Structures are given as C-alpha cells and as structure tokens.
Amino acid sequence: MITNFDKDLQAVDHLYSEIETLLEKPEVVLRHRHPSISKWSTDEQIQHVLLANRWALSTMVSMLRDGEEFSESGRLKPLGVLFLGFGAIPRGRGKAPAAAKPSAEATLSDLKVNHRQQRGYLKKIRENQDLARSLRTRFQHPILGDFTPSHGLRFVRVHTRHHLKIVNEILATVETA
C-alpha cells in the first residue's frame, strides 16, 4: 500500500487546526445534534475522533521511543487496505470500539486538553519523521489490522476528515436554523 507520510502529516496538522477552531465555538453550538445526519452531536464527533486518534498517535510516539518492543509481523486486513487505500470511510458502516465511544460526562475543557496533548504527539512525530517514516514495526488496530507508523498516520488523517465532514454538516443545520 502506498502512503505519503509527509503529505499525511501536513494534512493531519491542518485537520487539527480545524478542530482547534471548532473548539472555540460556543458550547451550545457544539452540543447541537441532527439525528438525520448522525446520532452523535458535534462535540461527540470531535470527542470520538480525539479518543481514537489519541490511541494511534500515542502508540506511534511509543514506537519512536521503544521501536524494538513492537513486532514487525502482521499485516493490514482487507478492510484496512480498502479504508486506507481509498482514503475514505463509508458513512454509517462502522461501529466505534468501546474505548472510542463518546462520554456524556466529557466537557469542552476535556476536549481542549486532549487536543493539546495530541498536538504534542504530532510535534514529536514531526521531529522524528525520518525515523517514523522508516519504521516497519506494527501496532494492532482492532478492525483494520496491523499498522506501521505510516498506516497509523493515514488512519488519523482519513478518520479525522470523515468525522469533520459530519461535524460541518451538523453545524450547517445550526446556522440555518
């Protein structure tokens, strides 16, 4: 599978800037939901993205630090090849793993802290991108198979873009209401 680490890293940086802008919106806007678009509200979409991405990004940072502790065996499952190869997720097809499901107790402050932490992970990845790009060790995604850091970064890009499209659709209904 062809991935472009540098392009994916740049795109993820841009997507995280979009999230930062969204997190500055009033809480009442972020709590808005539109059931015909998604069962999750805008802030739940963002929370889900941050939960799933935190796992991927923190694991990638661990790989940079402790690469030899990870296995080089394993491969992407066919669904992972499709998902990462096409760079898109079909709407309404997947179920979030329990660890990435939004919590009603999460606050806007929690989301901002999680976002800042992940910006730190991205900084570490950027500072070590030659190593990250070259690592062949893998970590396991519960549905898509075993990721190299390049696959992990592509996942973060595709997954974030997918949910930000949904967020923007929901927000468009707020602005017209």
Where are the chain's structural domains? 5-176
**Sequence-distant contacts of 13-17: CB under 8 A, at least 24 apart:** 13/122, 13/126, 15/157, 15/160, 15/161, 15/164, 16/115, 16/118, 16/119, 16/122, 16/160
pLDDT exceeds 80 at position 161 = yes
pLDDT exceeds 90 at position 21 = yes
Q: What average pLDDT does range 10-28 have in this prediction?
A: 97
Which amino acid belongs to residue 134? S
Asked if 121 contacts 57 with a C-beta cutoff of 8 angstroms, the reply is yes
Q: Looking at the whole model, is its pTM more than 0.75?
A: yes
Distance CA 173, CA 74 (A): 43
Q: What average pLDDT does range 110-129 have in this prediction?
A: 97
Q: Quick one: 5-176 is in which CATH superfamily?
A: dinb family like domain (1.20.120.450)
Cα torsion angle, 144, 160, 98, 132, sign: positive
Identify the band that residue 176 occupies on the pLDDT scale cut at 50, 70 and 90.
Answer: low
Distance CA 120, CA 145 (A): 26
pLDDT exceeds 60 at position 177 = no
Identify the band that residue 71 occupies on the pLDDT scale cut at 50, 70 and 90.
Answer: confident
Rg value, the chain, Cα: 16
Distance CA 35, CA 111 (A): 22
Asked if 107 contacts 30 with a C-beta cutoff of 8 angstroms, the reply is no
How much is the pLDDT for 129?
Answer: 92
